[in-house]
Each structure stands twice: as structure tokens, then as C-alpha cells.
């Protein structure tokens, strides 16, 4: 049984990584189409083509712009809702909680569609602005969950101590609560940025005539496919892996320090 | 509610928090959804006709779906396929989640979790695109099968629903693994040992001890996977063929090719109802609440 399970785990991880390896390998194949069979010789020219692709750079800068906008909106909203849920007790709270979680359980396309329809009456059509709004609608809920997780372990006697020692409520918020929440806020910001950067379903409906990087990749895959798309994919994978590893290491350290604190 | 916030944070901060929260929940979450429903109940009119005699609430846009055999077929196909994707994902994920939670040493589990997270952070489009390369008519999978002599001529994997299924299970597997892992991990090892000592075999231990305990995880994972599968646009668009269209593609076409937003809104609302219906059924069946899902 144990052997069977271990064998399954190996097969599973092969299944998980093989596609990405195949895609990365196809970047170096000197073939007009992205494939690894047949191998027409090794080349680096697809990186050059990618570099020279003006559309890609435009899409990349749009994606960065959108992600920045989403951060500015979703992080404050997420923090506020976490603090709200942590502070308030009311009969309406379960309903508000359900409303806060609802964007996570709604298909992304529907968030995009409803945002698009809603803003039409104000004469706003699809573009960067609506993309920011649409994405922030559900990303704020992720931020809330992450901030909430840390907030639940917050010792409120620290808050009371600060107030007793003469701090104003603002000073308490600024000097006690925010520094305590900082690690959670930072990881939430990283997640929010990535979520925005790679979002497709919501973006597809609200992006209008602008293009973000994911929309650009999808359109390339359906029309005019060359291994330059793989080169882009490979670069993105490497950046993401670096991000993921740094993020994980930081999270582990933070957890270890928390564990040490709770042991003392 | 304002009083409680003000007592803790003072007036200005409480005001700012409530404003942000209210703006989000009202302007970004609730009103757009209501507007979408309102749109779906109105006929598609020229701008000049809006507010005129032809304007008014009607169920016509919903009737369209049930009169259109092709669209109705695609709607139900999306439903069945999404359920199938959910079940397949559950079957594939369960052994892994069990291994991570109960068999692996902490070091092994940590390494596996990191390895799981990495592909999850990579764009859905790119993950799907890798399958596009593998499953292509002259791609590596066909070449391997040919070389092994298992098939005589290449198979068109991208021609039916099979490619879409493979791509979806791959794209959403982690939304299943993590809730399952969290649920199984909280099971006391002694329960498994006790079951063994009392003579239960592997299958029976899972059926009577592990799976009942993992219910909240199964529910959460299934809800997320179903929602992502039913609402997926990228996977069917990249790996499907004209013959295997997904309901989201029909919705997209109403908006950007048919130019009939009202019709599109009705279809979008039906998709939402489908997801809410599935979620309520699963929550009822597994007896879990919203609080369990948010974990």
C-alpha cells in the first residue's frame, strides 16, 4: 500500500511538471510552431523575437498598471473589512460576512460581466479602469481572508495597554495594530499583485480594446502562434518561481518565529 | 456598527473603514449583480427605444435558452462536464492529500507543498497552453504513443471534450488538494491506528474514518472546482474545438459578437444560478457552512 501510494505521488508530480517542462523546452526548438517533436535544432531566436514585440511590451505595461491599481484598492478594502469583522458584533454580521465572501464563490466571468453592465449607464466602457475595478472586487476578499487570519491571533490587551499609557486611537492603530498586521498585509499584497497579473476570466469582459499580458498571450495562442509565446511563458514561469520561493521562505520564517513566541 | 468601530478606532478611522467597506459591498459587489439581473429581464432595444413603450420587464431572454436546442445542449453539457471534472479532480487529489497529511514526514510534506504551489502560481493560460502543445496532432504525446506502437496514426485529442477535461483537472487540482489536505491533517492519527488495530482494512479505514472526517474539505474543494470549471473560459477556448463549446463561450459571443447584452446577461445569470445551486446542494449534503469554506 505504502509503495503504491509513493508511486502515485511520483506520477502525480510528473503530471504536474511535465507540461511546464515541455512548454519551456519548446522555446529552444528552431521550429515555426511551438513543439518539441520534431526537434529542428536549438536556438535562442524566440527570445529575440519576444524582445522586439512592441505589442507584448504594451500589454506588459498595462498589466503592471492594472495590478498597481488593484493593490491600491483591494488592500485598503481588505484591511478595513477584516478590522470591521473583528470589531463589530451585530445581527447583520453573518449576512455581511456572506456578502464579503460572495465574490470568491462567483465565477470570474460573472464579476466581469456585471461590472461591465453596471458602468455602462455612467458612460464608462471597458478598459484599464474597469479592469482594475472588476479585479479588485474579488481580490479584496482574498486580502480580507489573509489579514483576518493574523488578526484573529492579535492580543487585544496590547491595544488596551497603549490606550492606557496615553496613546490616541490613531496612534494605537498606527504604532500597534498596523505593525502587527504588516507581514500579513505584505503577503496579501504579493498575492493580490499576482492574482491581478494572471487574471483572465474577469479581465476578458472588462478590458475593452486595451490588452493585458494574459489577454495578449491568449490571443497569440489562438492566432499567429510562434514559440515566442513560449519564451514569454518561460520568463514568466522563472519570475513566478522566484517570487513563490521567496514568499514561501519568508512565510516559513514568520511561522517559525510565531511558534517560538507562543512557546515562550 | 459605526459606534463599535468608533469606540475602537476613533471617528475618522471608523468613517474611512466603513466608507471603503460600503463602497466595495454596494458599488462593486451588490449593485452590479442587481444591474445584471435587471438587464437580463429587459429586451435588447435601440438606444432611442429605451424607456419607450417596448421597454419593460420580460422573461424572453430566458425563454431563448430553452427554445434554442444548441444552447440548451451546451448548458447541460457544461453542467455534466463540470461535475465530471469535479469528481475526477477529487479522485486524483485524495491520495495526494492523504499522503501529505498522514504519510509524509514533515520535511517531505513541506517540499511537496512547495512543489504544488509553484505551478499554481503560474498563469492558467500558460498551464493550459502547455497542454495544447502536448496534445497537439503532431505533438509529443502522439509521437510517444506512435513510437511505442500503441496507436497506428495520431489521435486528434483537441477535437472533443477529452482535451478540455484533462486541461481543467490540471488547472484546478490545487483548489481541491489544499482544502482536502487541511481537513485530513486535523484528523487524530490515533483514530486511524485504532481502526487498523480493530481489524479494518485500508479501504474500510478510509471509508469509515478518513473520508467522513474530510467532509468539509471535500465540500470546499468540490465547490471551488465546480465553480472554476463551469466558469472557465480559457481552457475550452484553448483546448476545445467548435464542437465542444462551453457555456461561457456562448455568453461571450452574446456580448461581443451578437451585441445583445441583455441576452448575455440572462445567460450569465443562469450560470451564476447553476453555481449557487451546486454550492447549496453540496453544503446541505455535507452539512457544512460558509465559515468552513472560508478556511
Domains annotated for chain A, with CATH where assigned, are 54-224 (1.10.3720.10)
A19 contacts B170? CB cut-off 8 A? yes
Rounded to the nearest 10 degrees, what angle do helices A93-105 and A54-87 cross at? Answer: 160
Q: What kind and span of H or E run contains A248? A: helix A228-263
Which of the four pLDDT bands, split at 50, 70 and 90, describes residue A224? low
Mean pLDDT of chain A: 86
pLDDT at residue A222, as a whole number? 76
Which residue, among A88, A114, A196, would best test binding to B if mutated, counting the most B CBs under 10 Å from its CB? A114
A23 contacts B133? CB cut-off 8 A? yes
B96 contacts A87? CB cut-off 8 A? no
Q: In this model, does residue B295 exceed pLDDT 80?
A: no
Hey, what's the cell of B88? 475526477
pLDDT in tens, B47-69: 777 777 777 788 888 888 888 88
Q: In this model, does residue B140 exceed pLDDT 60?
A: yes
Span B91-98, mean pLDDT?
A: 90
pLDDT at residue A32, as a whole number? 77
Which residues of chain B make contact with A138, given a CB cutoff of 8 A?
A: none
A124 touches chain B (CB under 8 A): no
Can you say whether the dihedral through the CA atoms of A81, A206, B269, B79 is positive or negative? negative
Q: Can you give the residue ranges of every domain in chain B? A: 78-294
Which of the four pLDDT bands, split at 50, 70 and 90, describes residue A41? confident
Candidate from A165-169, A183-187, B115-119, B266-270 with smallest mean pLDDT: B115-119
pLDDT in tens, B220-274: 899 999 999 999 998 888 888 777 788 999 899 888 888 888 888 899 999 999 9
Q: CA-CA distances (angstroms) from residue A153 to A159, A178, A261? A: 13, 14, 12
Candidate from A113-122, A219-228, B93-102 with smallest mean pLDDT: A219-228
pTM: 0.88
B29 touches chain A (CB under 8 A): yes
Instruction: Output B221 or B188, whichever has higher pLDDT.
Output: B221
Which residue, among B6, B47, B133, would best test binding to A if mutated, counting the most A CBs under 10 Å from its CB? B133
Calculate ∠ Cα B119-A240-A44, nearest 5°. Answer: 100
Candidate from A89-93, B22-26, B117-121 with smallest mean pLDDT: B117-121
B4 contacts A5? CB cut-off 8 A? no
- Asked whether A89 and B4 are in contact (CB, 8 A), the reply is yes
Q: In this model, does residue A77 exceed pLDDT 60?
A: yes
Spatial separation of the C-alpha atoms in residues A203 and A129, rounded to whole Å: 11
A130 touches chain B (CB under 8 A): no
Spatial separation of the C-alpha atoms in residues A22 and A230, rounded to whole Å: 10
Spatial separation of the C-alpha atoms in residues B65 and B68, rounded to whole Å: 5
Which residues of chain B make contact with A111, given a CB cutoff of 8 A?
A: 32
Can you say whether the dihedral through the CA atoms of A3, A5, A11, A17 is positive or negative? negative
SS (H, E, C) chain B: CHHHHHHHHCHHHHHHHHHHHHHHHHHHHHHHHHHHHHHHCCCCCCHHHCCCCCCCCCCHHHHHHHHCHHHHHHHHHHHHHHHHHHHHHHHHHHHHHHHHHHHCCHHHHHHHHHHHHHHHHCCHHHHHHHHHHHHCCCCHHHHHHHHCCCCCCCCCHHHCCHHHHHHHHHHHHHHHHHHHHHHHHCCCHHHHHHHHHCCCCHHHHHHHHHHHHCHHHHHHHHHHHHHHHHCCCHHHHHHCCHHHCCHHHHHHHHHHCCCCHHHHHHHHHHHHHHHHHHHHHHHHHHCCCHHHHHC
pLDDT in tens, B218-235: 988 999 999 999 999 988
Q: In this model, does residue A110 exceed pLDDT 70?
A: yes
Span B104-133, mean pLDDT?
A: 81
Which of the four pLDDT bands, split at 50, 70 and 90, describes residue B289? confident
State ipTM. 0.87
pLDDT at residue A37, as a whole number? 75
Q: Does domain B78-294 have CATH number 1.10.3720.10?
A: yes
Q: Which residues 178-217 of chain A have a CB within 8 Å of chain B? A: 194, 198, 200-201, 204-205, 214, 217
From B265's Cα to the closest Cα of chain A, the distance in A is 7
- Asked whether B83 and B164 are in contact (CB, 8 A), the reply is no
Over pLDDT 90: what percentage of chain A? 25
B45 touches chain A (CB under 8 A): no
Which of the four pLDDT bands, split at 50, 70 and 90, describes residue A119? very high
Span B204-215, mean pLDDT?
A: 82
Instruction: Output A111 or A49, whichever has higher pLDDT.
Output: A111
pLDDT at residue B192, as a whole number? 82
B175 touches chain A (CB under 8 A): no
Q: In this model, does residue B175 exceed pLDDT 60?
A: yes
Nearest CB to A22; choose among B121, B133, B238: B133
Candidate from A125-134, A218-227, B191-200 with smallest mean pLDDT: A218-227
Q: In this model, does residue B31 exceed pLDDT 90?
A: yes
A90 touches chain B (CB under 8 A): yes
Backbone angles phi, psi at B153, to 5 degrees: -140, 155
Q: In this model, does residue B294 exceed pLDDT 70?
A: no
- Asked whether A25 and A221 are in contact (CB, 8 A), the reply is no
pLDDT at residue A132, as a whole number? 95
Which of the four pLDDT bands, split at 50, 70 and 90, describes residue A50? confident
Spatial separation of the C-alpha atoms in residues A207 and A202, rounded to whole Å: 9
Q: CA-CA distances (angstroms) from residue B223 to B30, B85, B179, B287, B292? A: 21, 12, 11, 13, 12
Candidate from B48-57, B75-84, B120-129, B202-211 with smallest mean pLDDT: B48-57
Which of the four pLDDT bands, split at 50, 70 and 90, describes residue A1? low
Which residue, among A69, A79, A104, A107, would best test binding to B if mutated, counting the most B CBs under 10 Å from its CB? A107
pLDDT in tens, A4-31: 888 888 888 888 888 888 888 888 888 7
Nearest CB to A118; choose among B35, B121, B227: B35
Span B95-109, mean pLDDT?
A: 85
Reply yes or no: is the peptide bond before residue A41 cis, omega within 30 of 0.
Answer: no
Q: In this model, does residue A57 exceed pLDDT 90?
A: no
Mean pLDDT of chain B: 85
Amino acid at each position: 500500500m505504502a509503495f503504491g501510494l509513493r508511486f502515485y505521488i511520483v506520477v502525480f508530480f510528473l503530471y504536474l511538471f511535465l507540461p511546464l517542462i515541455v512548454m519551456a523546452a519548446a522555446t529552444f526548438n528552431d521550429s515555426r510552431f511551438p513543439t518539441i517533436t520534431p526537434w529542428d535544432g536549438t536556438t535562442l531566436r524566440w527570445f529575440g523575437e519576444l524582445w522586439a514585440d512592441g505589442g507584448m511590451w504594451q500589454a506588459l505595461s498595462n498589466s503592471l498598471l492594472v495590478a498597481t491599481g488593484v493593490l491600491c484598492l483591494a488592500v485598503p478594502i481588505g484591511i478595513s473589512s477584516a478590522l470591521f469583522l473583528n470589531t463589530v458584533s451585530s445581527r447583520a454580521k453573518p449576512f455581511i460576512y456572506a456578502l464579503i465572501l460572495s465574490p470568491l464563490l462567483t465565477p470570474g466571468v460573472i464579476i466581469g460581466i456585471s461590472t461591465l453592465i453596471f458602468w455602462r449607464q455612467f458612460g464608462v466602457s471597458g478598459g484599464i479602469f474597469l479592469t482594475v475595478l472588476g479585479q479588485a472586487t474579488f481580490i479584496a476578499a482574498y486580502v480580507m481572508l489573509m489579514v483576518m487570519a493574523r488578526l484573529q491571533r492579535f492580543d487585544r490587551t496590547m491595544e488596551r495597554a497603549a490606550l492606557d499609557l496615553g496613546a490616541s486611537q490613531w496612534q494605537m492603530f498606527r504604532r500597534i495594530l498596523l505593525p502587527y498586521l504588516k507581514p500579513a498585509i505584505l503577503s496579501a499584497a504579493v498575492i493580490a499583485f499576482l492574482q491581478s497579473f494572471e487574471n483572465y476570466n474577469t479581465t476578458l469582459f472588462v478590458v475593452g480594446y486595451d490588452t493585458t499580458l494574459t489577454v495578449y498571450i491568449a490571443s497569440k495562442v489562438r492566432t499567429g502562434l510562434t514559440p515566442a509565446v513560449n519564451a514569454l511563458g518561460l520568463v514568466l514561469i522563472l519570475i513566478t518561481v522566484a517570487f513563490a520561493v521567496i514568499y514561501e521562505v519568508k512565510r516559513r520564517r514568520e511561522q517559525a518565529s510565531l511558534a517560538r513566541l507562543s512557546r515562550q | 456598527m459605526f459606534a463599535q468601530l468608533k469606540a475602537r478606532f476613533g471617528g475618522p478611522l471608523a468613517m474611512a473603514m466603513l466608507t471603503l467597506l460600503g463602497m466595495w459591498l454596494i458599488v462593486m459587489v451588490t449593485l452590479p449583480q442587481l444591474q445584471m439581473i435587471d438587464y437580463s429581464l429587459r429586451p435588447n432595444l435601440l438606444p432611442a427605444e429605451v424607456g419607450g413603450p417596448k421597454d419593460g420587464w420580460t422573461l424572453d431572454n430566458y425563454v431563448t435558452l430553452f427554445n434554442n436546442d444548441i444552447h440548451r445542449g451546451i448548458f447541460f453539457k457544461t453542467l455534466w462536464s463540470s461535475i465530471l471534472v469535479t469528481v475526477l479532480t477529487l479522485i486524483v487529489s485524495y491520495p495526494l492529500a492523504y499522503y501529505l497529511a498522514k504519510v509524509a514526514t514533515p520535511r517531505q510534506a513541506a517540499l511537496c507543498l512547495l512543489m504544488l504551489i509553484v505551478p499554481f502560481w503560474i498563469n492558467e493560460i500558460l498551464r493550459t497552453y502547455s497542454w495544447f502543445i502536448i496534445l497537439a496532432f503532431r505533438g509529443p504525446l502522439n509521437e510517444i504513443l506512435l513510437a511505442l506502437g500503441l496507436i497506428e496514426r495520431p489521435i486528434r485529442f483537441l477535437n472533443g471534450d477529452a482535451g478540455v477535461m484533462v486541461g481543467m483537472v490540471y488547472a484546478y487540482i490545487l483548489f481541491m488538494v489544499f482544502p482536502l489536505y487541511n481537513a485530513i491533517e486535523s484528523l487524530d492519527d490515533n483514530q486511524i491506528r485504532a481502526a487498523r488495530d480493530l481489524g479494518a482494512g485500508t479501504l474500510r479505514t478510509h471509508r469509515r474514518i478518513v473520508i467522513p472526517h474530510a467532509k468539509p474539505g471535500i465540500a470546499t474543494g468540490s465547490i471551488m472546482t465546480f465553480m472554476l470549471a463551469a466558469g472557465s473560459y480559457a481552457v475550452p477556448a484553448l483546448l476545445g474545438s467548435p464542437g465542444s463549446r462551453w457555456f461561457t463561450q456562448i455568453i461571450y459571443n452574446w456580448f461581443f459578437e451578437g451585441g445583445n447584452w441583455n441576452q448575455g446577461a440572462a445567460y450569465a445569470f443562469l450560470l451564476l444560478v447553476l453555481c449557487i445551486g451546486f454550492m447549496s446542494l453540496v453544503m446541505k449534503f455535507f452539512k457544512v457552512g460558509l465559515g468552513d469554506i472560508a478556511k
